Structure 1
C-alpha cells in the first residue's frame, strides 16, 4: 500500500511540475480577476474562431471557463473557475470540477465555453444546484468554431467548445463535469 501512495504522490508532483510549464495561454496566467481572464478568453475565442462571435450573439448566455487544470495518475481530477455572461455582462461565477478513475497519467490545461442556445437550457442551468453536462450538449471542435452555422444553433440547447489545450493527457472532454455557482 505504501508503494501505491508513493507512486501516486510522485505522479501528482510530476503532473504539477508539468502544469507549471504548460499554461494554455488563453485566459491569462491565472493572475487577475475572473472577469479579466474571461475577457481574455472571449477575445481569444472570437479572434481565433470567428464563427463563435455570431454564436455568442445568438446565445441566451455563455459560460466561459478560461483555465481548467486536469491531472491524473490512475485517479484524476480537474478544476477551473469562470463566469456566466448574458448579453456579455457577468451575472454569476461558477467553478467546474471533474473526477476520473482509470488508465491515465499526465496533466493538461484547457479552456472551454458553453453556449446556451435556448432560454430553457439557460434557465435550467441557472436554477440547478450543481449542473452536470448531459446528453443535451453538442460538442463542437475548434475547427467548427470558425463556421458554426444556423442549422447547428437551431437544434442544440447547449453547444460546448473546448479549445487552447496544452499538456500531456490525450484528449479533453467535459463528460462528468459538474458546474457549481460560487462567490469569488
Structure 2
C-alpha cells in the first residue's frame, strides 16, 4: 500500500475519533460564549502582567475561550468566541485550522487577539473569512529575559495571547487559522 493511500486511510480513520472526543456538536449559546469570554479575560490578566493595560488600549478584543486542538498525524483546531468593543459583545466568530506533523491527542487553550488600530479592526470586520498570516499578521506575546512576558511592540496592529489554565503558551502560532463570523 502506497503512502498516499495510507494517508487517506489515516485521515478517514480520524473522523470517528474526532467525533468521539470532540465537544458537543451543537454550537455554544451566546450566554455560554459570553461567560467563557469573561473567564478567559480574567485568566489572561492573571497570567500576563501588563495584559490589563493592553486590553484597555485595544480598539477591540477577539476572545476564543475554549479552542480544542486534536489530531493524530493530521490535526485540527476549533473554537467559538466573541468580538468585544468597549467591553460589549459586537459579534460572534469561529476559529478553525488544520495542521500536519507529529501530533497526537487533544489540548484545550484560549486565544485572545487585540486589535490596536481602527484600520486593523475595519479590515477584520469587512472580511468574510479572515486568515491569520494572509489577511493580517498577529504578533503573539513571547517569553522575554528571565521568564518575563515580552511587552509587545506598540506599533503592532494585532497582538495575541495563547494560554491554558497553567499559563501563557509561547511556542505556538496562529498562522493559517481562519476566523469567520457566525450568527448567534
TM-score when normalising by structure 2: 0.76
Greater RCO (Cα-Cα under 8 Å, separation 6 or more): 1
Unaligned runs of 5+ in 1: 21-29
Cα distance per residue 1:70-93 (max 9 Å; x no partner): 111122111000000011111010
Q: How does 1:28-177 map to 2 (within 5 A)?
A: 33-134=32-133, 136-141=137-142, 149=151, 152-164=152-164, 172-177=172-177
- In 1, Cα distance between the equivalents of 2:131 and 2:11? 31
Secondary structure of the residue aligned to 2:154 is helix
- In 2, Cα distance between the equivalents of 1:137 and 1:34? 22
> What RMSD, in angstroms, separates the aligned Cα atoms of the two structures?
3.3
Unaligned runs of 5+ in 2: none
* Post-superposition offset of 1:96: 0.4
3, 13, 19: which one aligns with 2:17: 13
* Post-superposition offset of 1:50: 3.3
Cα distance per residue 1:60-115 (max 9 Å; x no partner): 00101101111111221110000000111110100001012333322211101001
Secondary structure of the residue aligned to 1:45 is helix
Q: Is the 8 A contact 2:92 2:183 kept in 1?
A: yes
